[in-house]
Amino acid sequence: MNRVLKPNDLELIRSVKEMGNIPKHIAIIMDGNGRWAKKRKLPRARGHQKGIVTVREIVEACVNLGVGYLTLYTFSTENWKRPKNEVSTLMRLIVKSLRNETDELNANNIKLTTIGNIEVLHDLVKRELNDAFEKTKNNDKMILNLALSYSGRQDITEAVKKIVGDVSTGKLKAENIDEDLISKTLMTGNIPDPDLLIRSGGEMRISNFLLWQVAYSELYVCEDFWPDFNTANLVDAVKSYQMRERRYGLVSEQIMNNAHQENDVQTPNKKVYQI
């Protein structure tokens, strides 16, 4: 998928792939569209429009990297509080992007999924989403997961409600509730937790995004606003990830010993993590 990537981008990707240990799941908080526009004395909508171009490049870069899952924080529940004209602009841009990109996603074997309360979205947005889901449902090269009208706290709240309901009806015993069950009940229950969480725009916060799921994700903050974020930034984030030792509460010596034994780590709750 090289519709946007330039030869030097592909060379950067090739060099980082040679290092191995590519994150299986990358999640991105795409921050800074409005600040990018303000800095240039442009309407905020121009920042969102430019941000879509960045999305296209980063999706292609992740496919070329061999990333299995890419989750993009596209629209949070808090974003509904923004000025109505900005929300309307964002919804129109989502519709336009789905119309323009779904066939390309399908041609490149990318499956589109979402997390969040999409029922509150405009009917036109839901219709375009459903069309995209149907067209790409059998694809398996990469999952592009859009967080739309998403809240990490609400995600956990709904999972708790579901579990409580199952206990009250006798479908589940309280003593069988564990971290694995909670993880599977979340909106991301059918995909692995992010290995790497990237935030553009320089802000040092999670912003109610995948609060449970990023417990052991490696964090990378980029100062560039999202419209300026590019393949080189993504490669820098992956390089940073590759240099880190993921200990999951253990010490380095334990990681080394377990790597020699079976190349994985057994945590106290019996969940196995690959290193």
The residues annotated as belonging to the active site are 31, 79
- Collapse the DSSP code of 114 into the 3-class scheme (helix H, G, I; strand E, B; otherwise coil) and give the result: strand
Give start and end residues of each alpha helix (H) in the chain.
7-17, 33-39, 44-65, 84-107, 123-136, 152-168, 179-185, 231-242, 252-261
- Collapse the DSSP code of 141 into the 3-class scheme (helix H, G, I; strand E, B; otherwise coil) and give the result: coil
Backbone dihedral region for residue 110 (phi beyond 0: left; psi -120 to 50: alpha; all else: beta) = beta
Q: Cα–Cα distance between 75 and 118 in angstroms, integer?
A: 10
User: In DSSP terms, which residues pair with 221 in a beta bridge?
Assistant: 199
220 touches 196 (CB < 8 A): yes
